[in-house]
């Protein structure tokens, strides 16, 4: 086994790993809801803070 055989094996393993990641990210339907929730995490703190302070979306006090 020379260096070119090793390079070919590493290339095939890397490609199979890439295909596995693509399948996991786009192919598994159960992950969609989890990914959508994770995408909204940066906005969760802002909404909680506004609710705690009694502010609306424009950072103005809600009419009580």
Enumerate the β-bridge partners of residue 55.
61
Amino acid 45: pLDDT: 73
Q: Write b or e for each residue in 44-55: b if 16 or more Cβ atoms lie within 10 A of its Cβ, otherwise e.
A: eeeeeeeeeeee
Amino acid 11: pLDDT: 98
Q: Tell me, what DSSP letter sits at residue 61?
A: B
Amino acid 27: pLDDT: 80
Taking the mean position of all CA atoms in its chain, how far away is CA 26?
A: 11
Amino acid 4: pLDDT: 95
State whether residue 63 is helix, strand or coil.
coil
Q: Tens place of pLDDT for every residue, the chain, 64 residues?
A: 899 999 999 999 999 999 999 998 888 777 788 888 888 888 777 766 766 666 666 656 655 5
Q: Can you give the pTM of this predicted structure?
A: 0.53
């Amino acid at each position: 086994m020379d260096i070119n055989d090793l390079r070919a094996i590493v290339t095939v393993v890397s490609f199979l790993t890439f295909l596995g990641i693509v399948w996991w990210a786009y192919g598994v339907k159960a992950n969609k809801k989890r990914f959508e929730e994770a995408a909204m995490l940066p906005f969760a703190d802002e909404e909680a803070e506004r609710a705690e302070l009694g502010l609306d979306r424009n950072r103005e006090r809600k009419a009580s």
